Each structure stands twice: as structure tokens, then as C-alpha cells.
């Protein structure tokens, strides 16, 4: 049983030796428990927060503990009345091959599901985040201009596609030409701007000639600086994530632009709202799941995944996620069946 542990707390960007691989015996399920075999492990930006012990909405991972994470698992042994051998479940069993569970928090999946990894992406937490943030907080209306960064990422790729379904003009922001091409040619965005370009702010401004009505915030940093002057009166900003800052060790250098931000919010009467998906919207998961699975089945929302083989590659893939190496929902294929 391979397990990946938190070896040390990173200062700035995580490094390979902040993780440690350990081999242990496969655990034995007791009465009322199941043995879970991990098939897919989701890698998500929030894990960077769990590696640090600063204030957050969730407890940090302890040093020498298994890294946390959402998984799709096969039930390999069962002493639990509700689960049988062969069942497919959504779990939160972390970066390891096997885990024992008493059933708490497990969600039964269709055991014949063709692409089980989708339960970690478009049909799971990131898809749900895109859906609620855009529709409930963003309150998009047909004809509006929506900007989303991380345009080819797990959340951003779904945000842009839903906004298109709702009749919006969608401007993506992504790192590099290849990702921008994917956003337009494969995901159907109207335009996509490379945030690494020297004239990023000018290109964004040219792409948003009618201003920005909804900015779905995934990154912060210089993307937000480019967006701020383009926001329309009564614009909405679902504040979903700030990945450009997750490795920061101190506040960025000045000038202090806080008063500019406050003034813009005031005079343009902008609504900016943070949210933590399962804390705020758990009760609406059913509504999302029904609509999204229909959209995916009909091909109205395209799936964009980045699947990396083998648990040992999880630390490297996670470090890459924070540097923009993934395109699509990043998932580790831990085992085949
Ligand atoms: P992604 O699949 O989008 O992967 C992360 C991407 O972020 C990278 O590929 C990269 O794309 C981009 N990125 C990384 N560093 C920077 C940077 N310095 N500046 C600009 N872009 C950068 O991740 P997710 O879709 O899973 O997550 C997107 C955001 O949503 C994150 O901020 C995450 O924390 C947040 N989130 C929030 C939730 C909530 O409940 N509030 C729930 C789920 C996610 P590129 O190369 O295009 O720049």
C-alpha cells in the first residue's frame, strides 16, 4: 500500500521533498467497514492551503499524515451492510492505494460508470463550483460579457462553457498560446488571452470592448489588475480562488491599490462574493448533478481532463498544477480497475 505523506510544510512553492512516499501493509476492514482501492485521485489547488498551518477554512494536514484528497474507489472487501464488493464510490481517502472506511462521507456511484474520473471533475466538485459560482453569484444574463481565468482548468473550462450556454460572450484568460487555442477551438470560448503576454492588459481591454459584466475570479494577481478598470457598473465577481497567491510568503510589493479597489467597487456598485462550495451550496448538489450530467451527455459541455498515471507522480503533478502545467481537470490514475 503506497501512501504519500506530507513531509514538511513548504515555504513558497512546494518542492518534491515536501512529500514522502511510504509503503505499508494493506489495512484490514473491521466490522461495519469497507476496504477501498483507489482508482482515481483528484489533485486540486486547495491542497496547497492544507500543506500550510496558517488560518484557513479547513484544518491543515499534519506532518507525516497522508495527503488529503477526493478519490474514486472500488470496494474491494465489505463488512458494511450498504456496500458490496465491486461497488464504485466517491471518497475522500487521500493520496494512497488503499483505505478503510466505515461509510462516513462515501457517495455511491454507478458501478458501470464509463468514465469514473468525471466524478472528480465536471460532474463533481470543480463542475459544481463553476455552476454555482457563475449562476448563483454571477447571475449572468444573455448578451453579457463574462471573463474567466484558468480558462482550460477544471473550474474555468466549465464556467466558460456554461456562460456560452447562457448566451454570454466569453473571454478566457489562460497561460500560453496552446491553452488559448484549446479554449477557443475546443471549448467554444469567443476569445482567449494569454496572461503571460507583455501587453496582456491591452489585449484584455481590446477583447472586452463592451466592458466586463461578470468576472469569475480564479487567480488574482495581475489578471485582476487587468480586469479592474474594465468592470461595468453593477458587475458581479464570484470570488472562487486566488491561485496566483497560494505560494506567497508575504504581501506583494506596492504601490498599495486597496483604495483603488474600494473606490471601483463603490462607484460602480460592484458585487464581489467569496464562497466555499460545499460549505455554502451542499444542499444544491442534486440540482447541479441533474443538469450537468444532461449537458455532458448531450455534448453541450465538453469534458477537458488531464490524466497522469501512477500515484508516485502525484507530487510532481501537483507542483505543476500551481505552475500552470496542467490543461483540464488534473487527475491521477492510481489503478485501472
Ligand atoms: P485548474 O485546473 O485551473 O489548475 C490551476 C490553473 O491555475 C493552472 O493550470 C494555471 O492555468 C492557473 N494558474 C496557476 N498559477 C497562476 C498564476 N500565477 N496566474 C494565473 N493563473 C495561474 O484548477 P481548478 O480549476 O481546480 O481551480 C481553479 C481555482 O478555483 C483555484 O483558485 C481554486 O483554488 C479555486 N476553487 C475554489 C473552490 C471554492 O469552493 N471556492 C472550489 C474549487 C476550486 P494557466 O496556465 O491557464 O494560467
Q: pLDDT tens for residues 154-209?
A: 999 999 999 999 999 999 999 999 999 999 999 999 999 999 999 999 999 999 99
- Indicate if 134 and 271 belong to the same structural domain: yes
Select from 263, 278, 293 the last residue of a domain. 278
Q: How far is the CA of 107 from the centre of ligand 1 (A)?
A: 25
Domain containing residue 77: 2-121+303-333
* Same domain as 115, residue 250: no
Contacts 24+ apart (CB under 8 A), 218-221: 218/148, 218/149, 218/150, 218/153, 218/155, 218/156, 218/242, 218/243, 219/149, 219/150, 219/173, 219/195, 219/243, 219/244, 220/244, 220/245, 221/245, 221/252
Q: 71 and 33 in one domain? A: yes
The count of other CB atoms within 10 Å of the CB of residue 223 is 24
| Same-domain status, 11 and 112 | yes
Which of 261, 278, 295 is a domain's end point? Answer: 278
pLDDT the model gives residue 115: 95
Strand partners, 40: 72, 333
331 pocket-lining for ligand 1 (C-beta < 6 Å): no
Per-residue burial over 69-105, b = 16 or more CB atoms within 10 Å of its CB, e = otherwise: bbbbbbbebbebeebeeebbbbbebbbbbbbbbeeee
What is the number of other CB atoms lying within 10 angstroms of the CB of residue 163?
28
Q: What percent of the chain has pLDDT over 70?
A: 100
| Pocket lining: 62 vs ligand 1, CB cutoff 6 Å | no
Q: Is the pLDDT of residue 337 over 80?
A: no
Using a 6 Å cutoff on CB, does residue 244 contact ligand 1? yes
Q: Are residues 103 and 135 in the same domain?
A: no
Q: Is residue 62 part of a domain?
A: yes
Q: Are residues 83 and 173 in the same domain?
A: no
In-domain check, residue 288: no
1 alpha carbon – ligand 1 mean position (Å): 30
Check whether residue 228 and residue 322 sit in a common domain.
no
- Residue 151 CA to residue 154 CA, distance in Å, equals 8
Q: Which atom of ligand 1 lies at the shortest distance from residue 274's CA?
A: 41
Residues 142 and 252 in one domain: yes
* Claim to verify: residue 273 and residue 317 sit in the same structural domain: no
What is the spatial distance between Cα 159 and Cα 143, in angstroms, rounded to a whole number?
16
How many C-beta neighbours within 10 Å does residue 202 have? 12
pLDDT tens track for 10-28: 999 999 999 999 999 999 9
User: What is the CA 263 to chain-centroid distance, rounded?
Assistant: 30
CA dihedral over 333, 219, 285, 182, signed as positive or negative:
negative
- What is the pLDDT, as a whole number, of residue 58? 85
Q: What is the rounded CA–CA span in Å between residue 217 and residue 262?
A: 17
CA pair distance 262, 275, nearest whole angstrom: 20
Domain with residue 308: its CATH number is 3.90.180.10
Residue 290 in any domain: the answer is: no
Tens-place pLDDT, residues 65-104: 999 999 999 999 999 999 999 999 999 999 999 999 999 9
C-beta separation of 73 from 91 below 8 A:
yes
Cis peptide before 260 (omega within 30 of 0): no
Question: Which CATH number fits the domain that encloses residue 245?
Answer: 3.40.50.720
Do 173 and 271 sit in the same domain of this protein?
A: yes
Q: What are the start-end ranges of the E strands in 16-87?
A: 19-23, 34-42, 71-78
| pLDDT tens digits, one per residue of 194-229 | 999 999 999 999 999 999 999 999 999 999 999 999
Establish whether residue 174 lines the binding site of ligand 1, counting it when its CB lies within 6 angstroms of any ligand atom: yes
Q: Which three cell numbers stand for residue 318?
A: 501537483
Whole-number Å distance, alpha carbon 194 to ligand 1 midpoint, is 15
**Closest C-alpha residue for ligand 1 atom 39:** 276
User: What total number of domains does the chain contain?
Assistant: 2
The least confident of 54-68, 172-186, 278-292 is 54-68
- The answer to whether residue 273 scores a pLDDT higher than 90 is yes
The reply to whether 145 and 226 lie within a common domain is: yes
- Tell me the best of 128, 137, 153 to mutate to test the pocket of ligand 1, counting ligand atoms within 8 Å of each CB and taking the most: 153
Q: What is the DSSP string of 144-176?
A: -EEEEESTTSTTHHHHHHHHHHTT-EEEEEESS
Same domain, 147 and 254: yes
Amino acid at each position: 500500500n503506497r501512501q504519500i505523506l506530507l513531509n514538511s510544510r513548504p515555504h513558497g512553492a512546494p518542492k518534491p521533498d515536501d512529500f514522502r512516499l511510504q509503503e505499508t501493509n494493506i489495512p484490514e476492514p473491521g466490522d461495519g467497514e469497507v476496504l477501498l482501492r483507489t482508482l482515481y485521485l483528484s489533485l486540486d489547488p486547495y491542497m496547497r492551503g492544507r500543506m500550510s498551518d496558517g488560518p484557513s477554512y479547513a484544518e491543515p494536514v499534519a506532518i507525516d499524515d497522508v495527503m488529503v484528497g477526493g478519490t474514486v474507489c472500488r470496494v474491494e472487501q465489505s463488512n458494511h451492510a450498504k456496500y458490496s464488493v465491486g461497488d464504485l464510490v466517491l471518497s475522500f481517502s487521500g493520496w494512497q492505494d488503499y483505505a478503510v472506511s466505515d461509510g462516513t462521507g462515501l457517495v455511491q456511484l454507478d458501478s458501470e460508470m464509463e468514465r469514473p474520473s468525471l466524478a472528480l471533475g465536471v460532474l463533481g466538485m470543480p463542475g459544481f463550483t463553476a455552476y454555482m459560482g457563475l449562476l448563483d453569484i454571477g447571475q449572468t444574463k444573455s448578451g453579457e460579457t463574462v471573463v474567466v481565468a484558468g480558462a482550460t482548468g477544471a473550474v474555468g473550462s466549465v464556467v466558460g462553457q456554461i456562460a456560452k450556454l447562457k448566451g454570454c460572450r466569453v473571454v478566457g484568460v489562460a497561460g500560453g498560446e496552446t491553452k488559448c487555442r484549446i479554449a477557443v477551438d475546443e471549448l467554444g470560448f469567443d476569445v482567449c488571452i494569454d496572461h503571460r503576454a507583455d501587453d496582456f492588459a491591452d489585449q484584455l481591454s481590446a477583447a472586452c470592448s463592451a466592458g466586463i459584466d461578470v468576472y469569475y475570479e480564479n487567480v488574482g494577481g495581475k489578471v485582476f489588475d487587468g480586469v479592474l478598470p474594465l468592470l461595468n457598473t453593477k458587475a458581479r465577481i464570484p470570488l472562487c480562488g486566488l491561485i496566483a497567491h497560494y505560494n506567497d510568503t508575504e504581501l506583494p510589493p506596492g504601490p498599495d491599490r486597496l483604495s483603488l479597489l474600494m473606490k471601483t467597487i463603490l462607484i460602480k456598485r460592484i458585487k464581489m462574493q467569496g464562497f466555499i462550495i460545499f460549505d455554502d451550496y451542499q444542499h444544491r448538489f442534486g440540482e447541479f448533478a441533474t443538469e450537468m450530467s444532461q449537458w455532458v451527455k448531450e455534448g453541450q459541455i465538453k469534458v477537458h481532463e488531464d490524466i497522469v498515471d501512477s500515484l508516485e507522480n502525484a507530487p510532481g503533478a501537483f507542483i505543476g498544477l500551481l505552475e500552470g502545467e496542467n490543461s483540464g481537470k488534473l487527475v491521477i490514475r492510481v489503478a485501472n480497475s
